[in-house]
Structure 1
Amino acid sequence: MKKIIAIAVASAFVAPSVLAEVVVYGVAAPSVEYSKISDTTSSDLTRVRLVDNLSRIGFKGTDKLDNGLKLLWQVENRVYIGTGDQSRGFNTRDTFVGVEGNFGRVVVGTAMFDLPFQARFDYLRGLINYNETINGVQGSINQSQARLSNLAQYTSPVFLGGAQVNALYDFGAKTTAGNYQGYQATATYKFSMLKVGATYKQNNDTNTVGQQTGALVNSTVTPTAEAFLKNYLVGATLTPVNGLDVSVMWDRKKTKASTAAAEIRQDAWAIGANYATGKHGFGVHYGKIGNQKNMSTGLTSDDTGAYLVAGQYKYALSKQTYMHASVGYTKNDINASYSMGTTYVTGGSVSPAAVPGMKVTTIAAGVTTSF
């Protein structure tokens, strides 16, 4: 439960006055993870360790302005209980300042996920994962996701009985070699038991592709003239009965590494279902990444795809705390190197992992509590 702390400053010479209300919130989420990587070019790896599922603490607040608008702000910070990339710390999660009114909401900030990631909460709820040890099929398949460091985002109010739009601009970076910047848009519509949506993302003048595309909080982008990434995401969630979400998604990624490089295209799709009843929650997800295709020659690169499957369960111990167990499996073709999870099961610092043809099995169990 979120805890509201009233911050008051008192002086011996003036009357006490309340300056602001600050909401302090957070998540503590340790897990025990078993991971096995086999069929690699090096030695197989098996290990058990304590890992972290995106534990965090944040501070946020609002202020009613004289003109009827509302100002809002948030500073969210990553903390670690177990293994993780501990180079990240203060304000390395959604941190922003914005205004809200009848027109919608506008925020500017840093360390915020882009619209392809936000899609799982907007219109792909059947593909939401219960923990971050196994980062979910949707997150693994949509390889253009990034936590951006320099952006502005607009969210419209709901109109026409169920429509809503989001627009995001990535300010990027400019050098003599190129002018990296990006823009994204999402449109959703909800009617009866069905919610449908589509997201488009484009980054210009950047040769960094995959999950690392974007000016991330923990990396930089080197602008490269005529390079780009384009991402198309379409999906829907059906809720036929209360507590059951069934989602399908299709994703297309187009990349170009430089002026002389060929455009590369890769398609993927996924299906998943989450069901909650009483204290119990269940989920099953499947995804398939297709082979890469060279759009200049029309030729397909064989064995550059993968498939992923995941199952998950959670049990509510209270309104704030639940325990969970998950299993994920990734099977790469001999020229592909995708992995599942944010804890870097190969011991490296990037995901996907860099070992072609690997099989990754990850089993995790833990407790998540929020405040």
Structure 2
Amino acid sequence: MTCKMMAAVLAAALPFAASAQSSVAVYGQVDAAIAHEDADAPGVASRTAIHAGQASSRIGFRGTEDLGGGMKALFNVEAGFGIDTGMGDSALFGRRAVVGLEGNFGMLTIGREYTPIDNISGATHILGQGFYGSNLNAFANGRMTRRISNSVNYKSRPMAGLKFSAAIGLGETPTGPSQDLKTVSVEYQQGKLFAGIGYATYDRLASGSDREMIFGAAYGFGALEFKGNYMVGDQTGPNNRYTQANLGAAMAFGPGKLFGNLQQSKLQNGARGNGYAVSYSHSLSKRTNVYASYGTTVNNERAAFSLSAAGSTITPPASALGADPVAYAVGMRHTF
């Protein structure tokens, strides 16, 4: 059913591509890796699998219409799918689905959108939230929020390098806690220097609000890049404070680029996992590259933290404290 819906949307979008009044584009990327993954847990066998290894496969439609006076209407819908089976995600346009206005005031959108915290986490993570060892495990474990549905989002225009973002995701619940998520961020960019800070509250329980925070920075010069971030997911209740720190570097040489990242995840109860990752990407053209990726998470005796790549999260069972998940992959990515 999802594939039929995708075909119908594509067929409906094509006539608009020729419209003189608006601009509509079809875009996406296809990523496939052969991966070997081991959760290092008793009774859990290692596996060889095919899935995205650098960036999730997707297809999207985006467009704008000039409304005059420096204002334009815009939309963007984006669907994810698995390269191994061709199956779409459970929500057709679950990756992004927004419509809005953009002008001198900034940009205002309504729909399902990435959080300001996720925007900063992506801009300050050397692995691009894709290769093994990425910070996607912070979002996969439910401690941080990557996308918000039922949301109203505002992004200011850059002013002297500064940009402000704010969003509210409505829980739409008739009773009990509102389930609303409110979030703000400030970003600064000047050349290859970037810094950002974000904060969010989530009214998940009646007893109090969950809090999420991030600080991240990135800098590059010549062939070198350095990126790092620190995230906090403080859920209501005792011993629930989660933190993750990432520090990475990359070096480009010719068509190749080498990435390395150190990661530490911690819980207030003393659980700690140290992550180590290295990846290499080789460009065959502007739109196609091949890559190799390796990552592991070394957990202490109180922890069972996961290891994530774009298409997979390896999580030891909660009973397997001290398990050290490890994975490596080779793959190819093509963008269009």
Same fold, judged at TM 0.5 (above): yes
Secondary structure in structure 2 of the residue aligned to 1:73: strand
The amino acid that maps onto 1:194 is L
Match for residue 217 of structure 1? none
Out of 230, 234, 245, the position equivalent to 1:250 is 230
Out of 36, 52, 62, the position equivalent to 1:34 is 36
Out of 228, 244, 247, the position equivalent to 2:209 is 228
Q: Is residue 365 of structure 1 aligned with residue 330 of structure 2?
A: yes
Report the Cα distance in structure 1 between the residues aligned to 2:301 and 2:108, rounded to whole angstroms: 45
CA gap 1:193/1:263 in 2 versus in 1, 3 angstroms: same
User: Which sections of structure 1, spanning at least 5 residues, go unmatched?
Assistant: 10-15, 207-223, 293-300
Report the Cα distance in structure 2 between the residues aligned to 1:8 and 1:253, rounded to whole angstroms: 43
Contact 1:186 1:197 (C-alpha < 8 Å) held by counterparts: yes
Q: Is residue 187 of structure 1 aligned with residue 186 of structure 2?
A: yes
Match for residue 97 of structure 1? 99
Contact 1:127 1:247 (C-alpha < 8 Å) held by counterparts: no
**1:252-271 superposed matches below 5 A:** 252-256=232-236, 261-262=237-238, 264-271=240-247
Contact 1:63 1:72 (C-alpha < 8 Å) held by counterparts: yes
The amino acid that maps onto 2:216 is G
CA gap 1:197/1:352 in 2 versus in 1, 3 angstroms: farther
Out of 257, 263, 282, the position equivalent to 1:315 is 282
In the TM superposition, residue 135 of structure 1 has moved relative to its aligned partner by: 5.6
Contact 2:117 2:214 (C-alpha < 8 Å) held by counterparts: yes
CA gap 1:173/1:189 in 2 versus in 1, 3 angstroms: same
User: Which sections of structure 2, spanning at least 5 residues, go unmatched?
Assistant: 1-12
In the TM superposition, residue 6 of structure 1 has moved relative to its aligned partner by: 6.7
Secondary structure in structure 1 of the residue aligned to 2:126: helix
Match for residue 115 of structure 2? 114
Q: Deviations over 1:153-211 (max 9, x none)?
A: 1111111x21111111111232322211011111122346532211111111x1xxxxx
Aligned length: 317
CA gap 1:283/1:71 in 2 versus in 1, 3 angstroms: same
Match for residue 140 of structure 1? 137
In the TM superposition, residue 8 of structure 1 has moved relative to its aligned partner by: 6.5
Contact 1:154 1:168 (C-alpha < 8 Å) held by counterparts: yes
Report the Cα distance in structure 2 between the residues aligned to 1:238 and 1:334, rounded to whole angstroms: 36
Contact 2:125 2:246 (C-alpha < 8 Å) held by counterparts: no
CA gap 1:8/1:180 in 2 versus in 1, 3 angstroms: closer
Contact 1:182 1:202 (C-alpha < 8 Å) held by counterparts: yes
Report the Cα distance in structure 1 between the residues aligned to 2:172 and 2:119, rounded to whole angstroms: 23
CA gap 1:307/1:272 in 2 versus in 1, 3 angstroms: same
Report the Cα distance in structure 1 between the residues aligned to 2:32 and 2:223, rounded to whole angstroms: 26
Secondary structure in structure 2 of the residue aligned to 1:175: coil
The amino acid that maps onto 2:121 is R
Match for residue 60 of structure 2? 58
Out of 7, 15, 22, the position equivalent to 2:15 is 7
Contact 1:329 1:359 (C-alpha < 8 Å) held by counterparts: yes
Q: Deviations over 1:333-370 (max 9, x none)?
A: 23322212254455xxxx68644322110101111001
TM-score (normalised: structure 2): 0.85
**Range with greater deviation from structure 2 (84-93 or 20-29):** 84-93
Contact 2:240 2:267 (C-alpha < 8 Å) held by counterparts: no
Report the Cα distance in structure 2 between the residues aligned to 1:352 and 1:43, rounded to whole angstroms: 11
CA gap 1:65/1:33 in 2 versus in 1, 3 angstroms: same
Secondary structure in structure 2 of the residue aligned to 1:116: helix
Match for residue 10 of structure 2? none
Q: Is residue 282 of structure 1 aligned with residue 283 of structure 2?
A: no
Secondary structure in structure 1 of the residue aligned to 2:15: strand
Match for residue 161 of structure 2? 162
Match for residue 82 of structure 1? 84
Match for residue 221 of structure 1? none
TM-score (normalised: structure 1): 0.77
Secondary structure in structure 2 of the residue aligned to 1:282: strand
In the TM superposition, residue 25 of structure 1 has moved relative to its aligned partner by: 0.8
Q: Deviations over 1:47-99 (max 9, x none)?
A: 11211341111111110013431111111111221169855252121111011
